[in-house]
Amino acid sequence: MAQDAVSGAESPHRRQGLLRDQVQLVKRKDSSDRYEIVPIQDSLSFEKGFFIVIRACQLLAQNNDGIVLVGVAGPSGAGKTVFTDKVFSFMPSIAVISMDNYNDASRIIDGNFDDPRLTDYDTLLKNIQDLKSGKPAQVPIYDFKSSSRIGYRTIEVPSSRIVIIEGIYALSEKLRPLLDLRVSVTGGVHFDLVKRVLRDIQRAGQEPEEIIHQISETVYPMYKAFIEPDLQTAHIKIINKFNPFTGFQNPTYILKSAKVVTVDQIKAVIAAEYTETKEETYDIYLLPPGDDPEACQSYLRMRNRDGKYNLMFEVR
């Protein structure tokens, strides 16, 4: 068992050298016999964060008795599930619990699926307690298209003793005291919300207009009010910089030039089979709630082109 600290580094503030040496354990302030890692101040890339999380899980399992609970949180579409799946593929002996399955449709208020009150914490905490007690947990299965719980599945106590709780509220105040490791995954405002739109179209069967309205009215306000403060408590902060444009099947390319070019000059270099069309386009700029209009650097632009909506990046 570890003493006061376990690390390859000389101090919590000196983290040079190999990545594995950047993970240092210290005794938890709320427990005399459990350890957590010293928070890493710098944000990490997806790949570096993956390596650090693996190393932290290994050290915590070596030095803590019983179940090691890891919380992976972040806004919708940030890449939490992808990250957790990557950890699971490397450590298949762990167990993963998605908080999405603890949605309680009976608690939905004004169609807000991102309200923290929607989470059935009673069942989640019971499942966690069962695993900590060495018993199998009956984890609910939630169907997004019908917005209902359709059954349960059994999760056994994993041989590695590592359990990952993944969800937008995985670092909430109700779960934090139970967690040995807290991880946040973010991808920037635009990345997170665009991925959310694409995912919900496929998973929930919603129309794009409905999703965009939901994002501007509920998702982003919920993120600023409840999720973002929780993410500040993470031991490990990961920024997923994957380019979201690679997910679009039908991208729109807009070419800009400092030179003024006439229509005749354009037609002279374009093949004859191309036709000229005119479309009515107007933009709506969404200001993130609570941001100063003069200082905001991350507007969301919603473009309506002949009745078709596109959520676009706009940085000012």
pLDDT value, residue 150:
92
* pTM of the predicted structure, to 2 decimals: 0.67
pLDDT value, residue 10:
40
Phi-psi region of 91 (alpha: psi -120 to 50; beta: other; left: phi over 0): beta
Nearest partner of 288 among 160, 190, 143, 142, judged by Cα = 190
What is the chain's pLDDT, residue by residue, as a tens digit (316 residues)? 444 555 443 444 444 556 667 899 999 988 778 999 999 999 999 889 999 999 999 999 999 999 999 999 988 778 888 899 999 999 999 999 999 999 887 766 665 556 677 899 999 999 999 999 999 999 999 887 777 889 999 999 999 999 999 998 999 999 999 999 999 998 754 455 555 555 555 555 556 566 666 665 666 666 677 788 899 999 999 988 754 434 433 445 556 667 888 878 877 877 666 666 777 776 666 655 555 656 666 556 666 666 666 665 444 4
Distances in Å between the Cα of 264 and the Cα atoms of 146, 260, 268, 297 are 54, 12, 6, 37
Pairwise CA distance, residues 169 & 175, whole Å: 9
pLDDT value, residue 12:
44
Nearest partner of 36 among 12, 16, 18, judged by Cα = 12
Hey, what are 161's tokens?
């003793």
Q: Where are the beta strands (DSSP E) in 156-253?
A: 162-166, 181-186, 236-239
Q: Give yes or no for a contact between 92 and 253, defined as CB atoms under 8 angstroms apart.
A: no
Residue ranges of domains in the chain, CATH in brackets: 5-247 (3.40.50.300), 263-313 (no CATH)
pLDDT value, residue 280:
73
pLDDT value, residue 9:
38
Amino acid in position 134: G
Distances in Å between the Cα of 263 and the Cα atoms of 39, 199, 236, 254 are 58, 39, 54, 16
pLDDT value, residue 95:
97
